[in-house]
């Protein structure tokens, strides 16, 4: 029997690795003083629609309940958290630092590796904090998160929406034409961009450090774009002090959701995969749509994409097994005592002989076997090493079987 397109099963060792990555993500969020929240898997569609750009609106799974209320599975978490903060946390002291690791759902027309319809996102939202310090916090936390899961050479592209606006205005594009140009830049459609305005091609193909900011300064004239260039320069300086300088580049063609982000933008990636692993930025216009006029910035990572990147580097080669401390046969009491002592116990009942129990222990890499029979308890040590050619070591029982 086949699963629907865009979803998958997780075998025990696969899910264990996924949980490990999620645990690391949560640990990093906790070290940065972010508190985890949870919102419903589905919400009213009209509420989600307030915060979603047109692309995510199209990707939302929509349905109606028996009262004909239009509902949708959440395609991302930022909008539900904006709704949560605007309705239930308005009186909480700002800034708020909130995090999540949870499934979201998107209807991709052609699901593929890295584009599942059911996916897990881990992310944070820093609400009520304007300016460079908050932007830097999100970027540096993202770098630290990818470092912690084993991607210490992940690269990051950064940009600022106001810089792009300043470039487009500087080359003389009208607002309607500028919006078209943004779409071409987001798609990296160089042919269409050259036909629209040849001077934009150099910007769309330029990546680098502080030197490329000078290239943009020759074109940008608006106060907002000049201030944004100054912010990017300061961000690069601070990143250099943390040892991240070689891993961060300015990419003027980096444009995430055009209707959503209002300022600083970034994405993280590794060369082995053809999609971003994480990304985010400033979205000061979102919470005002819910009647709460505060700034916000955040980022999210795709857990499945992180796992793909790790696998491409062979970090899945050693299959993770669940740790089992002891195999117990013949006594519920002995098994209960082992669990009470904090051990992971595999229970085999009392119908197996010693050879079968030792074979089972070796097959599952269990270092101890405890056999209770006829009022006696024997403990066998089968490690080190777990080698069927070597005899198990018998040790004195620690308790009786009563």
Q: Rounded distance, CA 366 to CA 271, Å?
A: 39
**Residue 162: band (very low, low, confident or very high) from pLDDT cuts 50, 70, 90:** very high
Q: 12-312 and 326-395: same fold?
A: no
- What is the reported pLDDT for 401? 47
| Domain assignments of the chain as residue spans, ordered by start | 12-312, 326-395
pLDDT, tens digit (0-9, with 9 covering 90-100), for 282-292? 999 999 999 99
pLDDT, tens digit (0-9, with 9 covering 90-100), for 178-206? 889 888 888 888 998 898 888 888 888 88
Given its phi and psi angles, is residue 68 left (phi above 0), alpha (psi -120 to 50 degrees) or beta? left
Secondary structure (H, E, C), 301-335: EEHHHHHHHHHHCCCCCCCCCCCCCEEEECCHHHH
318 pLDDT above the threshold of 80: no
- Write the class of the CATH domain 12-312: alpha beta
CA distances (Å), origin 135, targets 92, 131, 138: 21, 7, 5
Fold of 326-395: Rossmann fold (3.40.50)
Query: Do 159 and 250 meet the contact criterion of CB atoms below 8 Å apart?
Result: yes
């Amino acid at each position: 029997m086949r699963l629907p397109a865009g979803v998958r099963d997780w075998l025990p060792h696969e899910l264990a690795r996924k949980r490990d990555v999620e645990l690391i993500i949560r640990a990093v969020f906790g070290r940065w003083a972010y508190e985890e929240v949870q919102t419903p898997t589905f919400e009213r569609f009209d509420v989600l629609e307030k915060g979603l750009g047109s692309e995510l609106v199209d990707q939302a799974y929509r349905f109606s309940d028996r009262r004909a209320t239009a509902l949708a599975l959440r395609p991302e978490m930022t909008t539900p958290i904006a709704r949560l903060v605007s309705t239930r946390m308005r009186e909480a002291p700002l800034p708020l630092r909130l995090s999540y690791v949870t499934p979201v759902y998107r209807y991709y027309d052609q699901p593929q590796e890295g584009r599942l319809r059911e996916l897990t996102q881990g992310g944070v939202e820093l609400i009520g904090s304007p300016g460079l310090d908050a932007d830097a916090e999100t970027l540096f936390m993202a770098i630290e998160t990818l470092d912690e899961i084993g991607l210490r050479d992940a690269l990051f592209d950064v940009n600022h929406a106001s810089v792009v606006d300043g470039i487009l205005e500087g080359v003389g594009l009208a607002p309607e034409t500028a919006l078209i140009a943004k779409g071409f830049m987001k798609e990296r459609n160089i042919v269409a961009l050259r036909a629209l305005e040849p001077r934009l091609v150099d910007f769309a193909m330029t990546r680098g450090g502080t030197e490329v900011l000078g290239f943009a300064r020759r074109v940008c004239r608006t106060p907002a774009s000049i201030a944004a260039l100054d912010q990017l320069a300061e961000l690069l300086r601070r990143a250099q002090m943390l040892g991240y300088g070689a891993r961060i580049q300015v990419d003027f063609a980096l444009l995430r959701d055009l209707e959503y982000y209002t300022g600083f933008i970034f994405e993280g990636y590794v060369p082995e995969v053809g999609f971003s692993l994480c990304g985010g930025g400033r979205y000061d216009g979102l919470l005002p749509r819910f009647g709460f006029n505060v700034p916000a910035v955040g980022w999210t990572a795709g857990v499945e994409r992180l796992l793909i990147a790790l696998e491409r580097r062979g970090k899945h080669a050693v299959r993770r097994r669940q740790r089992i401390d002891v195999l117990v046969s013949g006594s519920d009491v002995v098994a209960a005592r082992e669990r009470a002592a904090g051990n992971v116990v595999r229970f085999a009942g009392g119908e197996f002989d010693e050879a079968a129990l030792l074979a089972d222990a070796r097959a599952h890499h269990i270092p101890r076997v405890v056999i209770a029979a006829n009022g006696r308890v024997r403990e066998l040590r089968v490690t080190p090493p777990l080698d069927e050619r070597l005899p198990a070591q018998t040790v004195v029982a620690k308790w009786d079987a009563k």
